[in-house]
């Protein structure tokens, strides 16, 4: 007859062995292998819902939006409207809307997502005033010269919303069942709703772009919302698994981490939801935020997805001999891609 605690001890030992195996993998910087299912793109609408549901408790997508025009000025041939939007019901969202001074009719628009760089006071000002890591002129003016309207808001914790630290926001939202990045994505999805309400915007010609954190936001938004027709991401197309294997998670801000994401999605799978819409990824060969090995994985996977969707020419990845910056060549390539597709 077995000891009364036999089955308990057997189960206990089993869990100890499993834990030791996981710990050994972690100690060797190994990640759980990806399977083909993680890269398959089947029912895209269903996958969009699944991806959106990972973003925590979000405000109602149908809640009314109100907008206050704070100021309007003309500078170097560009109309710059400063807006204050009530889009989430929690705090007002400052934003810039720009368009060419002499524009007529409905305009194509670029939803521009600002970067991070640990410079929380900058936010949307990057769109109007630029930054040293990017080329001149700032994108508000570069886009207007091409005949495009533009829009950029302050993300949670940035610009005029920088009262609380990123870490404090993350912790507070976690307690409430919210995800900081989810709240950031939500605001930009509602920005699309606002642009859709404007009579001067052609919603059949909507692009989104950004650098660094703004790059990540661009491909998330396009994956979730098909109103975005063209995507440009600059210096943050990062393969999650490669980042894990290189033990470089600290290179990205805490906003970047969505609970349970890796159990459902890879970077390739999220970006696959954009296909067959035009998507241009730009990266620096020496940028530690986007390991080269991971870029090649994403490129291989997206080439397969776009070919399967009948649009192999609509996906483009170009890797430059630089680090985490925008060069003059990158700027010209971006504007040409927008000319070709937007």
**C-alpha distance from residue 254 to each of 28, 192, 271 (Å):** 23, 25, 21
Cα–Cα distance measured from residue 289 to residue 200, given in angstroms and rounded to the nearest whole number: 37
Identify the pLDDT of residue 334. 98
Cα–Cα distance measured from residue 248 to residue 237, given in angstroms and rounded to the nearest whole number: 14
Cα–Cα distance measured from residue 227 to residue 60, given in angstroms and rounded to the nearest whole number: 19
Is the separation of the CB atoms in 326 and 133 below 8 Å? Answer: yes
Cα–Cα distance measured from residue 251 to residue 150, given in angstroms and rounded to the nearest whole number: 29
Query: Mutual orientation of helices 166-175 and 180-197 as an angle, nearest 10°?
Result: 90
* Strand, coil or helix: 20: helix
Is the separation of the CB atoms in 195 and 201 below 8 Å? Answer: yes
Q: What is the pTM of this model?
A: 0.89
Cα–Cα distance measured from residue 35 to residue 327, given in angstroms and rounded to the nearest whole number: 36
Tokens of 57: 């408790």
Question: What is the per-residue pLDDT across 253-308, written as a single tens digit (0 to 9) for each?
Answer: 999 999 999 999 999 999 999 999 999 999 999 999 999 999 999 999 999 999 99
Cα–Cα distance measured from residue 232 to residue 304, given in angstroms and rounded to the nearest whole number: 19
Question: What is the per-residue pLDDT across 36-45, written as a single tens digit (0 to 9) for each?
Answer: 554 567 799 9
pLDDT tier at 231, thresholds 50, 70, 90: very high
């Amino acid at each position: 007859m077995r000891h009364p605690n036999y089955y308990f001890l057997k189960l206990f030992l089993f869990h100890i062995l499993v834990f030791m195996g996981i710990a050994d993998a972690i100690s060797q910087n190994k990640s759980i292998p990806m399977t083909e299912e993680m890269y398959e793109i089947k029912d895209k609408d269903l996958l969009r819902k699944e991806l959106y549901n990972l973003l925590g408790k979000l405000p109602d997508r149908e809640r009314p939006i109100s907008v206050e025009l704070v100021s309007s000025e003309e500078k170097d041939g560009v109309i710059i409207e400063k807006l204050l939007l009530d889009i989430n019901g929690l705090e007002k969202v400052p934003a810039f809307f720009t368009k060419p001074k002499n524009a007529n009719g409905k305009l194509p628009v670029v939803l521009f997502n600002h970067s991070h760089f640990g410079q929380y006071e900058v936010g949307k000002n990057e769109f109007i005033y630029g930054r040293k890591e990017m080329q001149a002129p700032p994108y508000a003016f570069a886009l207007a010269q091409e005949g495009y309207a533009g829009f950029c808001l302050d993300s949670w914790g940035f610009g005029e919303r920088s009262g609380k630290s990123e870490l404090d926001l993350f912790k507070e939202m976690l307690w409430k069942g919210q995800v900081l990045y989810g709240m950031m994505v939500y605001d930009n999805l509602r920005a699309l709703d606002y642009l859709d309400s404007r009579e001067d915007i052609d919603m059949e010609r909507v692009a989104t772009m950004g650098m660094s954190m703004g790059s990540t936001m661009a491909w998330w938004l396009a994956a979730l919302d098909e109103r975005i027709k063209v995507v440009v991401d600059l210096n943050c197309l990062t393969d999650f698994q490669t980042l894990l294997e290189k033990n470089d998670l600290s290179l990205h801000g805490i906003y970047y981490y969505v609970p349970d994401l890796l159990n459902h999605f890879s970077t390739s799978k999220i970006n696959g939801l954009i296909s067959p819409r035009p998507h241009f990824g730009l990266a620096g060969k020496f940028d530690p935020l986007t390991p080269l090995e991971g870029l090649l994985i994403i490129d291989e996977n997206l080439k397969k997805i776009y070919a399967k969707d009948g649009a192999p020419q609509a996906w483009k990845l170009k890797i430059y001999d630089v680090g985490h910056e925008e060069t003059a060549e990158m700027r010209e390539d971006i504007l040409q891609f927008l000319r070709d597709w937007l």
